[in-house]
Amino acid sequence: MPLLTRIKFTNNKKLLLLLISCCFLFGVNHQNFAQKKIYTVVLDAGHGGHDPGNIGNGYREKNIALKTALEIGRIIGAKKDIRIVYTRNKDVFIDLWKRGNIANDVKADLFVSIHCDSHTSNAYGAGTFVLGLHANKRNFEVAKRENSVILLEKDYKQNYKYDPNSPESIIGLSLLQEENLEQSLLLASSIQNNFIKKNKRKSRGVKQAGFVVLFQTTMPSVLVELGFLTNKKEGRYLNSKNGQKAMAKSIASSITEYVNQLKLNTVDIISEEIPVVGETKKIETLKTDTILFKIQISSSKRKIATKSYNFKGLKNVERVKVQSYYKYYYGKTSNYKNIQSLLKRVKKKGYRSAFIAAFKNGDKISVKQALKTR
């Protein structure tokens, strides 16, 4: 029985106002509690075990990457709302496909892979990559070197339909992470800015290239090249405890800033998608009063070819333009149980944010309304 109905009403307005205020405050506190979320960040130390990575000037990439990743984890792991998961926390070899699976299995909000660069020249500086097509030969060479790790794995031909030495193998990889590209670029830019401001390092900018380890993940992901071990001065700095701590501190600061942005834009208690204002695009011509369910797998400002290789093997994906966005739908059925089954399949493919959408006579309606009118 509600609190107010159990109290004899009086003319004491102050008491009534106090009780109402208490109920309001309890309600707000409950809602705030419900919205709390633990954000999972996966830190991936490149190479390891029998794969040393590059060994410029005798320094080992695998050791520097591990120590830096562990330091990042130590810094941000102290925060109550961030959970740290490592793909490796010691000197062991982990297949590239397993690194991505670790992040996917824990439903990570962010994936950060740590590496060190090398070059035949005296190049120096730090760069951060997101998944995408190679803009130039240099980007391809960086990706090819990091991707060549798969040749050390057992049964790599069965695990990857990919040739690390072929530029053509990269085409389509960036489209698979299209839905996460904006967030990945946001974090990458923040990391580079911190390298400049806090570490006084030369920035090699934010770049796109076809890294297989990023392709395997289903959340915003970046790969950081801390610097060049083949440059004596930079290699010495990155191999030092002070250098690793300084670089880790900058990366940790960017991750924290990113998570804080997620807090501002995330609401965890929404139970159903709210239709976008003006979203009345006709999906198809239907019979009167026909209810149709589909799964929205992604939304992007970029027009993507609806080929199966762009959508993790899903066939017959439908593209619909709504204002300045393209929405991509999979499946088409009037049976709600069938669409629920398809949703499970889509989420197993990696589209964790996919949801069921409903249409009546081609117009989008809420799922709740659709179920009521069936």
pLDDT per residue as tens digits for the range 166-206: 554 444 444 445 557 778 888 999 999 999 999 999 999 98
- 291: helix, strand or coil: strand
**Per-domain boundaries in the chain:** 39-265, 291-373
Lowest-confidence pick of 21-25, 342-346, 354-358: 21-25
pLDDT at 364: 82
Indicate whether 145 pLDDT > 60.
no
pLDDT band at 278 (very low <50, low <70, confident <90, very high): very low
Mean pLDDT of all residues in 56-82: 96
156 pLDDT band, cuts 50/70/90, is: low
Q: The pTM is what?
A: 0.58
Higher pLDDT, 51 or 33: 51
At the top level of CATH, the class of 39-265 is: alpha beta
Rounded Cα gap, residues 234 and 305, in angstroms: 43
For the record, the structure tokens of 24 come out as: 């309001």
pLDDT for 116 equals 96
Q: Is the pLDDT of residue 257 over 50?
A: yes
CB contact at 8 A, 70 and 124: no
Going 267 to 271 to 275 to 281, the CA torsion angle's sign is positive
Specify the CATH superfamily of domain 291-373: Sporulation related repeat (3.30.70.1070)
pLDDT-wise least confident of 14-23, 175-184, 238-247, 316-325? 14-23
